[in-house]
Amino acid sequence: PASAVTAALSCRRYVAGGECKSPARLEGKVAIVTGANTGIGKETARDLARRGKVIVACRDIAKAEAAASEIRADTGNQQVIVKKLDLADTKSIREFAEKFLAEEKELHILINNAGVMLCPYSKTADGFEMHLGVNHLGHFLLTFLLLERLKQSAPARIVNVSSLAHHGGQIRFHDLHGEKSYNPGLAYCHSKLANVLFTRELARRLQGKCQRRAITANALHPGSVRSELVRHSFVMSWLWKIFSFFLKTPWEGAQTSVYCAVAEELDSVTGQYFSDCQPAYVSPRGRDDETAKKLWRVSCELLSIQWD
């Protein structure tokens, strides 16, 4: 019946959520997207490649090269460059940053998109619990290493892909690496809360510098997206297939990342959290400035860096 079709289409439009309408061009500008070989990262890189130069930063070089080749063919932009980055290894992060800084004189957009979800208990090369290590500490270190180049290129933007799951997270300073108790779902939530708190504290510190040209930092929830992120969970993979109609496509999931990266109206907006291309509610734990400051200090200690 026509009414059923109309209802289904209305439901699908609701699921799709917001769309980035900005026509902003990025000629002469450089963007980095981590984890851009699949899912929303790939679609984010594809959109930005229609606007300017994109660095595809990924652990799996073969998949990254295949994605970059597809994006080049689709957009006609040959300035889609693959670079090796394993966020589960601080040595790889430092090597990526060193090579990038040697080869690129400017950086205008850093999209910290890569992530892991529902991993069985495991640790990174540096002994960090995998969710915390990849989703938070890896991007924390990467941002630290690239910040001076962002400052030199300002105005610039840092975009951290978090999740609605941050509402279920807490920063368990007494057991950050899940050695006393571990639940893969909660570990993911904790890491996504860390993304929100990192964004909040980073924005506060950047604003405190009274810069003439701003560097903004914002976080976002991409929505529930049909992607490979749930590959570690058979149950979630099964549910994702059954309810795929009610999930965003990777293109739909990338819209808020693109919006935070290019929308003109966000030129001076910082420290905010977005969903469906509009401001969204942050959990009370995600607004706790004392926890954000402590997480910053602890993160610096774990990574053996000084970031004042």
Q: Which residues are catalytic?
A: 188
> What CA–CA distances, in Å, run from 263 to 21, 71, 172, 256?
8, 22, 35, 10
Distance (Å, rounded) from C-alpha 232 to C-alpha 252?
23
**H or E element, residue 27:** strand 26-34
Distance (Å, rounded) from C-alpha 166 to C-alpha 160?
13
Amino acid identity of 28?
G
Conformation bin of residue 155: beta by default, left when phi > 0, alpha when psi is -120 to 50: beta
Distance (Å, rounded) from C-alpha 276 to C-alpha 15?
10
Query: Do you find a cis peptide bond into 155, omega within 30 degrees of 0?
Result: yes
